[in-house]
Amino acid sequence: MFDYSLAHWTTFFVAAVLLNLSPGPDIAYILAQTARHGQRSGFVAMFGIWTGAFAHVLLAAVGLSAVLATSATAFSVVKWIGAAYLIWLGIEALRSGGGSYLNDTAAPQTSNARIFRQGMLVAALNPKMAIFFLAFLPQFVVANAGPASAQLFLHGTLIIVVAAFVEPLAVILGARLTSSLKQNVRIAAWMDRGLGAVFVALGVRLALAERG
């Protein structure tokens, strides 16, 4: 069981690394929380994203992701909910005016539990991620290497394991980069505006996405 060639693993891990390096709502959310609340919150956001991604792995393994790929209604419902959520996060950042970055008692605080839940929703409400897993993972299913569902689960889980080697570095570097910048009110305001614009753009892009 799970008897794969070296070429199989090489191809898979190269693809997994490139996947985790590609920009998207997940890495944007992780870096945003790192910049706003520090390294610890960045890691909390990261674990939230991984939890939401793992839900997609489970769905792909049991075949439920096929519903999103074949049902226009199901895809549209999840898509619009996800797009609205991203745009809402963007509007929150735009309205903050830099307050979410400033380290003072007047700045609004966000609990790690809320950051975790938001990260989980950012990943879970992205139907394109579900369809990606459904299209990507079956390419690495090998005949006679075990049940297809087990192979899908293994490779999907390994994508998250690869993320554990990529995203923590982004959190650490992001925390160091912003620590000296966010004390400036003007810079903090522009950081919030930039973040808000990114999330609104990601939400609009998701809203315009097709199942294809």
Long-range own/partner contacts, residues 184-189 (CB < 8 A, 24 or more apart):
185/98, 185/102, 186/98, 187/98, 188/98, 188/99, 188/100, 188/101, 188/102, 189/97, 189/98
**Cα distance between residue 206 and residue 188, in whole Å:** 27
**Within a domain: 17:** no
Q: Given this model, what pLDDT does residue 99 score?
A: 56
**Within a domain: 93:** yes
**Within a domain: 13:** no
- Confidence (pTM): 0.71
Between 76 and 151, residue with greater pLDDT: 151
In total, how many domains does the chain have?
Answer: 1
**Within a domain: 44:** yes
Q: How confident is the model at residue 118 (pLDDT cuts 50, 70, 90)?
A: very high
**Within a domain: 18:** no
**Within a domain: 119:** yes
Q: Given this model, what pLDDT does residue 66 score?
A: 66
Q: How confident is the model at residue 105 (pLDDT cuts 50, 70, 90)?
A: very low
* Structural domain boundaries, residue 136: 24-207
121-144 residue pLDDT tens: 999 888 777 777 777 787 888 888
**Within a domain: 81:** yes
182-202 residue pLDDT tens: 555 666 667 667 777 877 887
Residue 115 near residue 46 (C-beta atoms within 8 A): no
Q: Which residue has the tokens 């294809």?
A: 212
**Within a domain: 98:** yes
38-76 residue pLDDT tens: 899 999 999 999 999 999 898 888 876 666 566 777 677
Q: How confident is the model at residue 107 (pLDDT cuts 50, 70, 90)?
A: very low
